[in-house]
Structure 1
Amino acid sequence: MTAEAIELEESVRARSDIISINPATLEEIGRAPNLSAAQVQQAVARARAAAQGWASLSFGERARYITRARQLLLEEQDEIVDLISNEVGKPRFESLVMEVFPVADLMEYFAAKSARLLRSERFTLSIFRNKVSQIDYRPLGVVGVISPWNYPFSIPMGGIVMALMAGNAVLLKPSEFTPLVGLKIGELFQESGLPEGVLQVLTGDGETGAALVDSPIDKIFFTGSVGAGRKVAEAAARKLMPVVLELGGKDAMIVCRDAPFERTVNGAVWGAFTNCGQACASVERLYVVEAIADKFIDAVVEKVKQLRVGIDTEHRIDIGSLANENQLRIVTEQVNDALAKGAIALTGGKPIEGLKGYFYEPTVLVNVDNSMRVMKEETFGPVLPIVVVKDEEEAIREANNSNYGLLASVWTKSIVRGRAIAERIEAGTVIINDVIYTHGACQTPWFGIKESGLGVTHSKHGLLEFVCLKHVNWDLLPLWWDLWWFPYSKWWYRLFKHLMSLLYRWRLKKIV
C-alpha cells in the first residue's frame, strides 16, 4: 500500500459516521459516511471524467434519465415520504405535497422544456448589418449543490434536475441532519441508469461541505443561512468561482383593510406554521391595519389553538417537531427575548414538555417591536409576530425595514391595490393573496435581494445559472476589408462623423 493510500485510509477511519436521528422521537434511524476532503477530491475527479460524455448527449437523451427517475419517484413515493418525515420530523402530508409532488412536476417540466429554453439564439446587428451573432448555451462542467435540512428532497432535486438537463455533472452535499434523504436521491438516479460519476452524493459534516467549495469545480449552488452563505461566497471568491446563494428570509405579510378575511386568516396560519415555521419563506412578520386588527388577531389565535402538534402516525398531525436541538434553542431564545422586552404571547410561548423530541408550541406574539430579535433575525420556527399598523403606508415601510428580501405577501380584494403595494415591497417575489407556494411552481423564479441571496433557481432564469454563454460572430457576405481597420486617415475620420450624423441626428438608423 502506498503512503498516499495509507494516509487516505487513516483519514477515513478517523472520521466517524454521521448519525441521523428522528427529531420527533430522538431515535436513531440510520448512519451515513462522513467523507473526508481527500474523498471529496476523488469524487470531483470522477465527476470531471464523466462530465464530457454527459454533456455530449442530446437534451432528449438526458431527459430519458430524468423521466425514468421520475417514474421511480412515483413508484417509491410512500417510502420517500416516510424517510423525509422521519429525518425532518414533519407530517407526511407536507412531505408529499411540499417535497415529492413539486419535484415530480419539476422533473417533467425541465425534461420536456430544457431544449427549448436553452435553444441557440441568432441575430443580426443593429448597425453592422453584414454581421451575424449566435449565442449558444454550454454546460458549466461540474457543479456542487449544498442543500439544507428543512426541505431535504425538493430543494436539492431542483438544482440537480436543472444541472443534469443543462449537461453538467453534479456533486450533492446534503445537510448532515438529513443525509439519508440525500443518499435516497442518489439511489433514484442510480436506479434510473444514470452514467456513473454524473451524480454523486457526498454525505458529511461542515468540513465535507468546505472541501467541496474549495475543490476545482465550476460553480457552487448553496442553500442555507446568511452566515454560512457568506463563508461559501468568500471561499469561492478567492478562486473566482461563481455562486448561487439562496439564503434566509424575514418575510412580511401585509393585511389590508379589505383583505378577504377567511382566506387571509387561513393563509397567515399556514404561512407561519407549515413545516413548523422552518421555511425561508415563512411568514415571520405580519402587519395588519388597525381597522380590522382585533377581529383578525382573534381569528388567527383561535385557528392556531386548533393546530395539532405531535408525531405523525395516523395522518392526524398538522405540525411536527423542529429539525434539531439548535433550532429549538434559537426559537426559545428569540421568544424569551421578546417576552422580556414586553411582547405578549396570545398562545404558545414555550417548548412542549410532554413530547420527547424538539417540539415548540405554535406561538402568536403581539406588542412586538424592532428592538426584539424575533423581529430582526430569522426565526425558522413556529412563531408568528403580529404588528398593528395605522395603514398600508406604514405596513410597507415596516416590511422594507429588514436586511432580508426573499418573499412577501399582500392580502386585499383589489388586485390593483395589491399590485401597487407589491411594486413598492423590497423582495424577490411578492404574492397577492397567497404565500410560500411559488417555490413549488418550477416555472416561476425563486431568488432574493439584500441578504437573502444571489442568483436564481427554478424557471428559465434558474436553468440559465447552470450554463455558460458561447458567442460566435461572422459575416453574411465576406469582405476584404472593414471600414475601421488600418490605415487610419483624416478622410475616414470625417466619414465616420458624417455617418454618426446620419444615424443618430437625422434618425436614419430608424429607417434602415
Structure 2
Amino acid sequence: MMSNTTQNPQKIKCINPATLEVFKEVEATDPKVVPSIVDAARSASKMWGNIPYRERAAYILRARQYLLSHIDEFARAITLDNGKPLVEALTAEIFPSADLMSYFANNGEGFLKSKDVDIDIWRLFGRKSSIEYVPLGVVGIISPWNYPFSIPVGTVVAALLAGNSVVLKPSSATAYVGKKIEEMFEAAGLPKHVFNHIAGSSEVGEALVNSRPDKIFFTGSTVVGTRIMEMCSKHLIPCNLELGGKDAMVVLNDAHIEHASSAAVWGAFTNAGQCCASIERVYVAKSVSEEFIEMVTKKTKTLRVGNGLDPSTDIGPLTTKTQLDIVKKQVEDAIKKGGKVLVGGRSLEEKGGWFYEPTVLTNLHYSSLCLREETFGPIMPIVVFEGEEEMLKLVNDTPYGLNCYIWSKDTKKAKRLARSMRAGTVCINECVYTHAIPATPWGGVGASGFGRTHGEIGFKEMLVPLHIHTNRITHFKDIWWYHYSEELYTRLKKITPHLSGRLTSKLMAIPGLISGIFKCRKI
C-alpha cells in the first residue's frame, strides 16, 4: 500500500504530501527485536502498575507541559507529515491531546476505585463481593495516519494511567509524528520500558501482535482491523478496534439551513475528508434541498486548497497517494453512473502534491461507490429524501456504524430519530468533533469495530475487572459441600424455588439453609 513514506530495513523516509519532498528519516524497528521489547515492557509494567496513581499522573502532566511548551514545533511536525492545515493540527490534534491528558490525570483515579456489589441474601451469611480494577499488563497500540498525534496519544495516556506499560506502533505513513510522541514521553522522564515506540511497516505491527501483549488497540481500516482480529484470536488476545465509517448527515425540513450548510462543508472537508467521522453522505429533506445545496455549493467554492503550512489554507493534500487514487475512482464512478458534479471533481497535480478539489455531488445512483464505500477524502455526496422512513432506511443502509448527525430545531424529534440510527455516537446540530471530548466514549458498531476509547468506559478498556468474594464466617460449612445424600437433595429441592425468587421469598429459604448446614454431614 503506497504512502507518504519509502522504506528500507533501516530507515523510513518521511515525505511531505504537499510537496512530495523528503523532510526527515526515521529509524525503522527490526521486527525480530519486537518480542524482546514486549518482554521488557511486561517486566516494567509490574513496577509501574504498583506506584501510586498521583505519581503516574505527574508523569503525564509533565508530558503535557512539554507539549504545550513546544506547540509550534509539534503543529509543524503534524502538518509536514500528515498535510492537514496548521489550524487543524492545533484544534484537532494538540488541544484534544492536552485536554485528555489533564482529564484522565484528574479523573482516572476515581475510575479505578473498587465497588461493592449487592449480592442479596448471601450478605446475611457473612459474604461480601467487590470489583477491583487491575491493569492488563502490556498494551499494544497500532495507530493510524489521519490523526497521527491525537488518536495514539489519547490511547497511550489512558493505558499508562491505568497502570499498564505501552508499546506504540504508529503508521509508517506518519512516522515523524510517531517520533515526536516518543520525544514527548521521554521528556516526561517515564521509567525505562514503560513507554516503548516501534516504527516500520505492517511486518512490525504483525510482530507486535505475535509478541502477545495483553491487549491490542487498533485504529484503521476495516480490512486491516479484520486481519488484526484474526491474528489476536490465534493467541486469545483481546482487541479493541476503531475502524472505518460512512457517516451520514441528515438535514430535516425544520433545520437551520445556513448553520447546517456550514457544518456540512466543514464536516465533509476537514482534514481533506480523512476522518473516521467525516460526513460522507448527506441526506436532505426535499422541501429545503434547493436552499441547502445552493448554500453548500457557494461555501465550498470559497475554500482554499494548498500547503498546510500556509496559515490561510483551508484544505491540505491527501496524506497518501492511495487515498488520492480512491477519491479519483469514486468521483469517476459517480459521474459514469449519472452523478452531477456541482463543485470540484478533479485532482490538482499542478500544486505539486496529492491535492484534490473539495467536491460536491448530486443526482447519484444508489450503487455509486461514494455512497457505498468509505471514501476518506474531500467528497460530499448529497441525496434528497421525502420522509422519515425513507431517510432512516438510507442512513442505516451501510455496514458501518460510527457516527450520525441530525440537523433539526426540534431536538425531541431528533433524539427520537437518533435512537433508530445504528451508530456509536449521534450528534444533534453538531458534527465530527466529539472525538475531542475526553469524557465521552468513542467507538462504533458493525464494520466500524467494537470497544471504546475515552471517558470512563474507554479507561476501563485498559483494565481487568477483578471480582473478590469474601466469606467472613468460616466456622460453618456450605450446605452444598461434600458429602451428598438423599436428605440433602430433598432439602435443596424444597428451598430452590425460594432462593431463585424475590428477596422476600429468599428470606423464607434461610431456615432451611441453616438447618441443612447443621443436619447434613459435611467433610
Would the TM-score normalized by the shorter structure come out above 0.5? yes
Q: Give the percent of matched residue pairs that are identical in Structure 1 and Structure 2.
A: 45
Counterpart for residue 6 of structure 1: none
Counterpart for residue 380 of structure 1: 376
Q: Deviations over 1:196-242 (max 9, x none)?
A: 11111101111111111111211111000011111111111011111
Counterpart for residue 85 of structure 1: 79
Counterpart for residue 214 of structure 2: 218
Q: How does 1:360-379 map to 2 (within 5 A)?
A: 360-379=356-375
Match of 1:189 among 172, 185, 199: 185
Q: How does 1:147-158 map to 2 (within 5 A)?
A: 147-158=143-154
Contact 1:20 1:178 in 2 (8 A): yes
Distance 2:368 2:108 in 1: 46
Q: How does 1:335-484 map to 2 (within 5 A)?
A: 335-484=331-480
Q: Deviations over 1:51-103 (max 9, x none)?
A: 11111111111001001111111101110001001111110000000100010
Contact 1:34 1:204 in 2 (8 A): yes
Is the alpha carbon distance of 1:14 and 1:96 closer, same or farther for their aligned partners in structure 2, counting shifts above 3 Å?
closer
Counterpart for residue 15 of structure 2: 21
Displacement after TM superposition at 1:297 (Å): 0.5
Counterpart for residue 518 of structure 2: none
Is the alpha carbon distance of 1:14 and 1:226 closer, same or farther for their aligned partners in structure 2, counting shifts above 3 Å?
closer
Counterpart for residue 125 of structure 1: 119
Displacement after TM superposition at 1:390 (Å): 0.8
* Aligned-partner residue type, residue 122 of structure 1: D
The normalised TM-score by structure 2 is 0.93
Displacement after TM superposition at 1:481 (Å): 1.0
Is 1:115 aligned to residue 109 of structure 2? yes
Counterpart for residue 8 of structure 1: none
* Aligned-partner residue type, residue 196 of structure 1: K
Counterpart for residue 521 of structure 2: none
Displacement after TM superposition at 1:509 (Å): 4.3
Counterpart for residue 44 of structure 1: 38
Distance 2:257 2:473 in 1: 66
Q: Deviations over 1:279-323 (max 9, x none)?
A: 010000110010111111111111101111111344111111100
Distance 2:290 2:334 in 1: 21
Is the alpha carbon distance of 1:149 and 1:507 closer, same or farther for their aligned partners in structure 2, counting shifts above 3 Å?
closer
The normalised TM-score by structure 1 is 0.95
Counterpart for residue 91 of structure 2: 97
Is 1:139 aligned to residue 132 of structure 2? no
User: Secondary structure at 2:347's aligned position in 1?
Assistant: coil
Q: Deviations over 1:354-374 (max 9, x none)?
A: 300000000000011321111
Displacement after TM superposition at 1:503 (Å): 5.1
* Aligned-partner residue type, residue 462 of structure 2: F
Distance 1:216 1:21 in 2: 32
Contact 1:289 1:392 in 2 (8 A): no
Counterpart for residue 513 of structure 2: none
Counterpart for residue 67 of structure 2: 73
Contact 2:79 2:309 in 1 (8 A): no
Contact 1:133 1:472 in 2 (8 A): yes
List alignment gaps of at least 5 residues for structure 2.
1-6, 509-523
Distance 1:153 1:407 in 2: 21
Q: Deviations over 1:477-503 (max 9, x none)?
A: 333211222233344334334434445
Distance 2:453 2:502 in 1: 45
Contact 1:311 1:317 in 2 (8 A): yes
Distance 1:26 1:77 in 2: 24
Displacement after TM superposition at 1:505 (Å): 6.2
Distance 1:166 1:507 in 2: 37
Contact 1:124 1:131 in 2 (8 A): no
Q: Deviations over 1:96-145 (max 9, x none)?
A: 00100010110001111111011111234113122111211111111111
* Aligned-partner residue type, residue 428 of structure 2: I
Counterpart for residue 159 of structure 2: 163
Distance 2:161 2:501 in 1: 48
Contact 2:12 2:25 in 1 (8 A): yes
Q: How does 1:224-373 map to 2 (within 5 A)?
A: 224-373=220-369
* Aligned-partner residue type, residue 286 of structure 1: V
Counterpart for residue 519 of structure 2: none
* Aligned-partner residue type, residue 270 of structure 2: T
| Between 341-350 and 499-508, the greater mean CA deviation after superposition | 499-508
User: Secondary structure at 2:173's aligned position in 1?
Assistant: coil
User: Secondary structure at 1:279's aligned position in 2?
Assistant: coil
Distance 1:183 1:406 in 2: 29
Distance 1:266 1:392 in 2: 23
* Aligned-partner residue type, residue 90 of structure 1: K
Q: Deviations over 1:258-290 (max 9, x none)?
A: 012221111111110000000010000110010
Is the alpha carbon distance of 1:96 and 1:14 closer, same or farther for their aligned partners in structure 2, counting shifts above 3 Å?
closer
| Between 320-329 and 126-135, the greater mean CA deviation after superposition | 126-135
Distance 1:506 1:163 in 2: 41
Distance 1:380 1:14 in 2: 27
Distance 1:308 1:316 in 2: 8
Contact 2:257 2:291 in 1 (8 A): no
Contact 1:72 1:188 in 2 (8 A): yes
Distance 1:511 1:263 in 2: 61
Distance 1:27 1:316 in 2: 21
Q: Deviations over 1:127-178 (max 9, x none)?
A: 3122111211111111111010000000000110000001111011111111
Counterpart for residue 515 of structure 2: none
Q: Deviations over 1:320-339 (max 9, x none)?
A: 11001111001101110111
Distance 2:52 2:80 in 1: 38
Distance 1:153 1:488 in 2: 62
* Aligned-partner residue type, residue 423 of structure 2: A
Distance 1:33 1:72 in 2: 23
* Aligned-partner residue type, residue 265 of structure 1: S
Match of 1:176 among 163, 172, 178: 172
